[in-house]
């Protein structure tokens, strides 16, 4: 950190279903940055409009914004665009990369063009006939909103009988829904910090599916870092994670969620540009395994945001 302390505004909250998770991330980041010696100002968002964000940031007179706001507005490029227009530096990917990463249909096309493995999938929009989109897909099928995080609105569908209810559930959160073949294998996450892959975290849910409850209810999921993978598989997963990060045009940080299938191939599920940021979240777990303490990680992200 420079000799003249910069004031950091930590943006958290918002109106998405991930508000409570965002507040936990934001409070943890505030504490970590204070421990690292930064002048920190929490910025809790209650209204997701350009005017409210401008008023919040300008009123706090901050030099840089740490984005800890999960879900739609905080991750899909809208918040980033406002900050860019204000010429306020911020952590994480810029507006266009954030938009692409949040849109699972758009990012999937980018990954395919980059030669990366993704699950077989169909994209369906409101008022389109479901049956015509299922041709060629094998059950079980994962049904998910195109632009949500934290497994919100996601269902694992074993057969046709359960499909309609799962699609209705997903459409509660988005106008576009993905029907994705379930990939059997080990779920992993590869965190990328400033273009470099951190140690891989294996995600081992005690339930059959890593849903919202498994993610956030204590004791329902085991995390192992480094993941128990053959060296060649781990290296490929890290390489593919960095390739996905670069293909989207990310910067500073991202978390790439994958499944290593039964053939040992890393299959990309999605890229998170504002990953969970409590001390027990997966991105900080990976950083800690690389020897980077949580306070140092948060400080490093602020320093990157302040570097032209």
Active-site position among 98, 155, 272, 295: 272
Q: Does 44 participate in catalysis according to the annotation?
A: no
Distances (CA, A) of 236 to 222, 255, 268: 23, 16, 12
Let me know if 245 is a catalytic residue. Answer: no
Out of 98, 147, 150, 281, pick the active-site residue: 150
Pick the catalytic residue from 276, 281, 288, 295: 276
Beta-carbon neighbour count of residue 140 at 10 Å?
18
To the query of whether residue 194 is one of the catalytic residues in this protein, the response is no
Q: Is residue 112 within a helix (H) or strand (E), and if so which, with residue range? A: helix 104-113
Q: What is the dihedral of CA 225, 226, 227, 232, to 10 degrees?
A: 170
| Residue 109 in tokens | 């096309």
Who's near 2: CB < 8 A, 6+ residues apart? none
Q: Which of 14, 18, 25, 92 is catalytic?
A: 18
Of the listed 16, 98, 270, 295, which one is catalytic?
A: 270
Q: Are 157 and 140 in contact (CB under 8 A)?
A: yes
Inter-residue contact 286 to 216 (CB < 8 Å): no
Task: Specify whether 112 is catalytic.
Answer: no
Q: How far apart are the C-alpha atoms of 272 and 279, rounded to whole Å?
A: 17
Annotated active-site residue 59? The verdict is no
255 has catalytic annotation = yes
What lies within 8 Å, CB to CB, of 113 at 6+ separation is 247
What's the distance, Cα to Cα, between the start and end of the chain in Å? 15
Residue in 96, 139, 216, 303 annotated catalytic: 216
What is d(CA 26, CA 10) in angstroms, rounded to the nearest whole number?
A: 6
Q: Which of 74, 255, 281, 295 is catalytic?
A: 255
By DSSP bridging, strand 64-67 and strand 7-13 are parallel
**110 phi/psi in degrees, rounded to 5:** -65, -40
No. of helices (H) and no. of strands (E), the chain: 11, 13
Told to judge if 223 belongs to the known catalytic residues of this protein, a careful annotator would answer no
**Catalytic residue selected from 76, 103, 187, 257:** 257
d(CA 257, CA 80): 22
In the block, residue with structure tokens 């339930």: 207
Residue 180: active-site member: no
Positions marked catalytic? 18, 150, 216, 255, 257, 270, 272, 276
């Amino acid at each position: 950190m420079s000799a003249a302390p910069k004031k950091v505004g930590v943006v958290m909250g918002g109106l998405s279903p991930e508000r409570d998770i965002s507040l936990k991330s934001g409070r943890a980041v505030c504490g970590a940055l204070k421990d690292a010696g930064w002048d920190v100002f929490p910025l809790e968002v209650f209204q997701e409009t350009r005017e409210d964000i401008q008023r919040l940031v300008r009123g706090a007179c901050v030099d840089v914004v740490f984005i800890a706001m999960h879900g739609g507005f905080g991750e899909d490029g809208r918040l980033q665009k406002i900050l860019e227009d204000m010429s306020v530096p911020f952590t994480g990917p810029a507006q266009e990369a954030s938009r692409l990463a949040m849109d699972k249909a758009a990012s999937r096309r980018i990954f395919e063009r980059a030669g990366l493995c993704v699950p077989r999938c169909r994209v369906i929009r409101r008022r389109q006939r479901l049956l015509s989109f299922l041709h060629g897909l094998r059950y079980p099928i994962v049904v998910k909103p195109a632009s949500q995080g934290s497994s919100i609105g996601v269902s694992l569908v074993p057969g046709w009988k359960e499909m309609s209810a799962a699609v209705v559930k997903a459409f509660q959160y988005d106008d576009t829904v993905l029907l994705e073949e379930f990939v059997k294998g080990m779920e992993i996450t590869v965190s990328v910090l400033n273009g470099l892959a951190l140690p891989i975290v294996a995600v081992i849910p005690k339930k059959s599916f890593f849903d919202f409850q498994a993610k956030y209810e204590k004791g329902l999921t085991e995390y192992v870092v480094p993941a128990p993978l053959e060296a060649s598989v781990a290296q490929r997963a890290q390489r593919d994670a960095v390739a996905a990060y670069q293909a989207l045009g990310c910067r500073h940080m991202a978390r790439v969620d994958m499944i290593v299938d039964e053939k040992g191939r890393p299959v990309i599920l999605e890229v998170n540009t504002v990953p969970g940021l409590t001390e027990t979240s997966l991105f900080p777990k990976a950083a800690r395994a690389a020897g980077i303490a949580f306070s140092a990680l948060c400080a490093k992200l602020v320093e990157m945001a302040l570097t032209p």
